[in-house]
C-alpha cells in the first residue's frame, strides 16, 4: 500500500500544472536613475528603501546613467543592493553638451542676470550641469541604449524615499489600466527659469501644425493652460517620481515637439526645467485617462512629502510619514486642479 501511495503521489506531481512553481514574470520595465558617483551613498539608501517597500518582491531591473563613467566602487556596491539586474551606462557626450547653435556670450550674460536677480536667484541659476541634466531628461534619456529593451520605466533619484509599502506591481497596474504616465507630486514652476518657454512651445506647435492640441478638450491641455488667458499656469508633474511608458517618449510627436523647442536653446539661455518641458509636451499628446495621479503612494523628495491621510491605509501599508506634512493641500500643489480635470472626464 505504501508503495502504491508513493507512486500515486508521484503521478500527481507529474500531472499538476502548478509544478514546478512558476517564477514571477515581471513586466517589461525597469527602474531608472541618473546620478553621479558622488551620489553613491544616497542612492544606496534609496535602493534599499525601494527594496523594502516594493522591489524585493518583484525584482525589477535598474538602469543607472551618468555623464561620467561610474567607478568600480559605485558599481560594486550598487549591484549587490539592487534586487533585479543592475546596468550602468555612460551618456554619449552629444546628449550632454552645448548645441553648436548656442551663442556663448548670450548664454553667459543671461546666466549672470539670473544670478544677480534683485529678488533672489532661482535654484541652480549658476549651474551648467543642471542645464545639461534638464535637457537630457527632456529629450534624450529614452534614447540611451540601456533603455531600449524596456517599455516602462520608473524614475528614481538619489535620496528619495517611499513612505508606505507598495504591495502590488505598480508597472503591471499601469499596463493593466492602460496608463502611460504616473506621478505623485505636482506643483508650480518658478517663472524666472522659463520666461519664454510657453511662447516658444506655442509657436513650436503652430509650426508643426499641431496648434489644435492647445485647446483640445480630450487631452490634458487643461492641466497646463489657463483658460482665462490661454497662458501657461506653471503646473507640472514633479519628475523625480514618475512611472511611464517609454514608447510615448519615443513617439514622433514627442520628439518633433522637443526638437522644435530645443532649437531656441531655452535650456541654456534660460534655465528650462525638465519637469515643465515634459509636462507641457505630455499634456498635449496624451488623452484623458492616460495619466494617473498616485495619491496613495507615500513619497518624499526633500523638502516635500506626499503622505496618505487615511489612518487605516497607513496602518495596513506600514507608512512612516506624518500625514500633516502632506504636500497635496499646499497652495502651490497642482493636484487638486488635476483631480478637477479628471472628474470632468
Residues with a catalytic annotation lie at 242
Q: Can residue 45 be called a binding residue for ligand GDP (CB under 6 A)? A: no
Q: Which stretch binds ligand GDP (CB under 6 A): 34-42, 78-86, 199-207, 209-217?
A: 34-42
Nearer to ligand GDP, 158 or 222 (CB): 158
Does 242 bind ligand GDP (CB under 6 A)? Our answer is no
Pick the stretch among 29-37, 202-210, 284-292, 328-336 that binds ligand GDP (CB under 6 A): 29-37
Give least dist CB 260 to ligand GDP, A: 24
Q: Which long-range contacts (CB under 8 A, 24 or more apart) does 55-60 make?
A: 55/31, 55/82, 55/83, 55/84, 56/83, 57/167, 58/24, 58/26, 58/83, 58/84, 58/169, 58/171, 59/24, 59/26, 59/83, 59/84, 60/26, 60/29, 60/30, 60/31, 60/84, 60/154, 60/171
The residue within the footprint of ligand GDP, chosen from 29, 35, 40, 111 (CB under 6 A), is 35
| Sole residue written with cell 517663472 | 191
Report in angstroms how near the CB of residue 157 gets to Mn ion at its nearest.
4
Residues 50-109 that bind ligand GDP (CB under 6 A): 66-67
Q: Where are the alpha helices (DSSP H) in 16-81?
A: 40-50, 56-58, 72-81
What are the start-end ranges of the E strands in the chain? 29-34, 61-66, 86-90, 152-155, 161-162, 181-183, 186-188, 235-237, 242-245, 291-293, 299-301, 304-306
- The bridge status of strand 61-66 relative to strand 29-34 is parallel
**How far apart are the C-alpha atoms of 307 and 323, rounded to whole Å?**
5
**Interacting partner of 129 out of ligand GDP, Mn ion, none (Cβ under 5 to 8 A depending on kind):** ligand GDP
**Would you count residue 39 as binding ligand GDP (CB under 6 A)?**
yes
Q: Is residue 240 part of the contact set for ligand GDP (CB under 6 A)?
A: yes
**Smallest separation (angstroms) from ligand GDP to the CB of 182:** 18
In this chain, which stretch among 35-43, 203-211, 216-224, 321-329 interacts with ligand GDP, using CB under 6 A? 35-43
**β partners of residue 33:** 64
**Closer to ligand GDP by Cβ: residue 67 or 326:** 67
Nearest-approach distance from CB 24 to ligand GDP, in angstroms: 28
Q: Which of 29, 34, 280, 321 binds ligand GDP (CB under 6 A)?
A: 34
Q: Which stretch binds Mn ion (CB under 5 A): 164-172, 237-245, 277-285, 320-328?
A: 237-245
Q: Output the nine-digit C-alpha cell for 213.
A: 492640441
Residue of 220, 215, 217 lying closest to 231 (CA atoms): 215
Where do runs of H (alpha helix) occur along 245-287? 246-249, 252-262, 266-269, 274-285
| Least CB distance to Mn ion at residue 36 (A) | 12
Among 157, 216, 296, 342, binds Mn ion (CB under 5 A): 157
> Residue numbers of the site for Mn ion (CB under 5 A)?
157, 240
> Residue numbers of the site for ligand GDP (CB under 6 A)?
34-36, 39, 66-67, 129-130, 133, 157-158, 240
Amino acid at each position: 500500500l505504501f508503495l502504491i501511495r508513493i507512486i500515486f503521489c508521484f503521478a500527481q506531481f507529474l500531472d499538476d500544472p502548478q509544478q514546478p512553481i512558476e517564477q514571477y514574470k515581471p513586466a517589461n520595465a525597469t527602474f531608472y536613475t541618473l546620478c553621479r558617483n558622488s551620489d553613491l551613498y544616497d542612492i544606496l539608501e534609496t535602493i534599499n528603501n525601494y527594496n523594502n517597500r516594493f522591489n524585493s518582491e518583484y525584482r525589477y531591473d535598474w538602469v543607472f546613467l551618468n555623464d561620467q563613467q561610474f567607478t568600480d566602487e559605485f558599481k560594486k556596491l550598487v549591484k549587490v543592493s539592487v534586487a533585479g539586474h543592475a546596468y550602468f551606462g555612460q551618456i554619449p557626450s552629444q546628449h550632454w553638451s552645448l548645441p553648436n547653435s548656442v551663442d556663448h556670450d548670450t548664454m553667459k550674460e543671461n546666466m549672470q542676470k539670473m544670478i544677480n536677480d534683485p529678488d533672489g536667484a532661482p535654484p541652480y541659476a549658476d549651474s551648467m550641469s543642471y542645464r545639461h541634466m534638464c535637457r537630457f531628461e527632456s529629450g534624450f534619456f529614452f534614447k540611451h541604449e540601456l533603455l531600449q529593451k524596456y517599455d516602462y520605466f520608473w524614475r528614481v533619484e538619489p535620496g528619495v524615499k517611499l513612505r508606505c509599502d507598495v504591495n502590488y506591481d505598480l508597472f503591471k497596474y499601469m499596463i493593466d489600466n492602460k496608463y502611460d504616465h504616473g506621478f505623485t507630486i505636482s506643483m508650480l514652476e518658478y517663472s524666472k527659469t522659463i520666461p519664454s518657454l510657453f511662447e516658444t512651445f506655442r509657436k513650436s506647435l503652430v509650426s508643426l501644425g499641431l496648434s489644435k492640441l492647445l485647446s483640445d478638450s480630450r487631452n490634458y491641455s487643461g492641466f497646463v493652460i489657463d483658460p482665462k488667458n490661454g497662458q501657461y499656469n506653471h503646473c507640472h508633474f514633479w519628475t523625480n517620481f514618475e512611472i511611464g511608458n517609454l514608447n510615448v517618449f519615443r513617439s514622433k510627436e514627442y520628439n518633433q515637439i522637443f526638437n522644435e523647442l530645443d532649437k531656441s536653446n531655452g535650456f541654456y539661455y534660460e534655465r528650462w526645467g525638465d519637469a515643465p518641458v515634459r509636462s507641457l509636451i505630455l499634456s498635449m499628446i496624451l488623452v484623458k485617462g492616460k495619466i494617473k495621479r498616485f495619491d496613495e503612494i507615500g513619497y518624499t523628495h526633500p523638502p516635500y512629502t506626499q503622505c496618505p491621510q487615511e489612518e487605516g491605509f497607513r496602518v495596513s501599508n506600514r507608512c512612516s510619514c506624518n500625514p500633516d506634512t502632506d504636500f497635496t493641500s499646499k497652495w502651490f500643489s497642482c493636484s487638486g486642479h488635476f483631480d478637477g480635470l479628471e472628474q470632468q472626464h
